[in-house]
């Protein structure tokens, strides 16, 4: 049975993809394996179109380079069509409810991808939509990115279980999804954030629970050196996420000792890989030497957004 054929057995058809929390370790691993299979088909020039005749609506309330382009290209490669819907073009921008929007869009579309601010908007959209809803980033989570990230680590390291991933920086949407993923996949995760910018307490508690079951672990500290010690994977993200731009100056002060640079990476394993979801700010959360250096795999990571999201769409919508 090919990876794709086993999707029905796993019951992924028709599901939403709102966060890694809702997916079992087996389902997450299945999606990663499917992404790798679809990537190799793509590299071999094999045409594979299980979504012929299907349309994905893509609602964007925030900017995007990677998410928009990779979903649109991915849908095209799978034989379907993707439609870009900005907040300004939709009636939600003028106050139409999420309920009515979800119900209406479900009559036309086969799936909805949404990037928005409040996580509740995505939960509500999924509650009222009758087609799969995919979370393309909220203030709380970025699960498509985390899936592509773990796929990338697997490709470079040959395994996930037992590896140590260190995240240095803001306790934001990105680290939340990475924490849940690491804990479910049996990885050891260490997070270093300044006081006041720690990851969500409930995410910490859930991660510890998942890690106890998978053989992984979670450390949350304010000390970047402690977090990065002997790490196989180093990850960082911007200090001020979308929607927090006005806090930029305050955050620059709070995060001044949290830059991932050559001095800090010296504490990691020699063969560490560096990841960043992008967009990046060289000279802030990461030095140019690290992000553009030999251990950085950021563009493999960016490419894998395409393959990982094709796996999600093929599994949920075909």
Residues that bind ligand CP (CB under 6 A): 64-67, 137, 145, 277-278
> Which of these, 300, 239, 227, lies nearest to 265 by C-alpha position?
227
Q: Which is nearer to ligand CP, 65 or 88 (CB)?
A: 65
Answer with the entry of ligand NVA, ligand CP, none that 310 interacts with (C-beta below 5 to 8 A by kind): none
Per-residue x/- track, 150-189, ligand NVA (CB under 6 A): ----------------------xxx---------------
Burial class (CB in 10 A: 0-12, 13-18, 19+), 43: exposed
Answer with the entry of ligand NVA, ligand CP, none that 65 interacts with (C-beta below 5 to 8 A by kind): ligand CP
CB 85 within 8 A of CB 102: no
71, 102, 167, 238, 250 from 111: Cα distances, Å: 12, 11, 32, 30, 39
Answer with the entry of ligand CP, ligand NVA, none that 173 interacts with (C-beta below 5 to 8 A by kind): ligand NVA
Beta bridge partners of 166: 190, 234
Answer with the entry of ligand NVA, ligand CP, none that 296 interacts with (C-beta below 5 to 8 A by kind): none
Round to whole Å and give the CA distance between 21 and 184.
Answer: 9
Q: Which of 15, 29, 66, 115 is catalytic?
A: 115
Answer with the entry of ligand NVA, ligand CP, none that 237 interacts with (C-beta below 5 to 8 A by kind): ligand NVA
Q: Is 91 a catalytic residue?
A: no
Q: Which of 29, 66, 119, 305 is catalytic?
A: 305
Q: Which is nearer to ligand CP, 219 or 278 (CB)?
A: 278
Round to whole Å and give the CA distance between 215 and 186.
Answer: 5
Count of residues engaged in binding ligand NVA, rule: CB under 6 A = 10
Round to whole Å and give the CA distance between 308 and 219.
Answer: 27
Q: How far is the CB of 144 from ligand CP (least distance, A)?
A: 8
> Which of these, 120, 115, 150, lies nearest to 241 by C-alpha position?
115
Q: Which is nearer to ligand CP, 80 or 136 (CB)?
A: 136
Q: Which is nearer to ligand NVA, 116 or 287 (CB)?
A: 116
Q: How far is the CB of 56 from ligand NVA (least distance, A)?
A: 19
Q: Per-residue b/e over 281-314, b at no fewer than 16 CB within 10 Å?
A: eeebbbbeebbeeebbbbebbbbbbbbbbbbbbb
Dihedral sign from CA coordinates of 50, 14, 210, 71: positive
Q: How far is the CB of 72 from ligand NVA (least distance, A)?
A: 17
Round to whole Å and give the CA distance between 286 and 288.
Answer: 7
Stretch 114-143 residues interacting with ligand NVA (CB under 6 A):
137, 142
Q: Is 277 a catalytic residue?
A: yes
Binding site for ligand NVA (CB under 6 A): 137, 142, 172-174, 237-238, 241-242, 277
């Amino acid at each position: 049975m090919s990876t794709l054929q086993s999707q029905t057995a796993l019951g992924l058809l028709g599901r939403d993809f709102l966060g890694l929390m809702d997916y079992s370790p087996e389902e997450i691993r299945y999606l990663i394996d499917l992404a790798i299979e679809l990537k190799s088909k793509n590299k071999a020039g094999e045409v594979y179109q299980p979504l012929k005749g299907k349309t994905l609506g893509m609602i964007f309330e925030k900017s995007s380079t990677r998410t928009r382009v990779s979903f649109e290209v991915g849908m095209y490669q799978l034989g379907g069509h993707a439609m870009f819907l900005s907040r300004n073009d939709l009636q939600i921008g003028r106050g139409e409810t999420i309920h009515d929007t979800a119900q209406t869009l479900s009559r036309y579309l086969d799936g909805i991808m949404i990037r928005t601010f409040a996580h509740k908007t995505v939960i509500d959209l999924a509650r009222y939509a009758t087609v799969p809803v995919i979370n393309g980033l909220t203030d709380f989570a970025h699960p498509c990115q985390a899936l592509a990230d773990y796929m990338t680590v697997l490709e470079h390291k040959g395994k996930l279980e037992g590896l140590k991933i260190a995240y240095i920086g803001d306790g934001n949407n990105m680290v939340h999804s990475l924490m849940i993923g690491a804990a479910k996949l049996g990885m050891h995760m260490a997070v270093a954030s300044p006081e006041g910018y720690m990851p969500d307490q409930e995410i910490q508690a859930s991660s510890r629970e998942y890690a106890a079951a998978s053989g992984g672990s979670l450390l949350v500290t304010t000390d970047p050196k402690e977090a990065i010690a002997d790490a196989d994977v180093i990850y960082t993200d911007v200090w001020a996420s979308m929607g927090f731009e006005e806090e930029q100056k305050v955050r620059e002060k709070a995060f001044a000792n949290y830059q991932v640079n050559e001095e800090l990476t010296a504490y990691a394993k020699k063969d560490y890989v560096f990841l960043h979801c992008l967009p990046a700010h060289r000279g802030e959360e990461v030095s140019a030497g690290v992000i553009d250096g030999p251990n950085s795999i950021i563009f493999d990571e960016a490419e894998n957004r395409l393959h990982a999201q094709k796996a999600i769409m093929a599994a949920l919508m075909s």
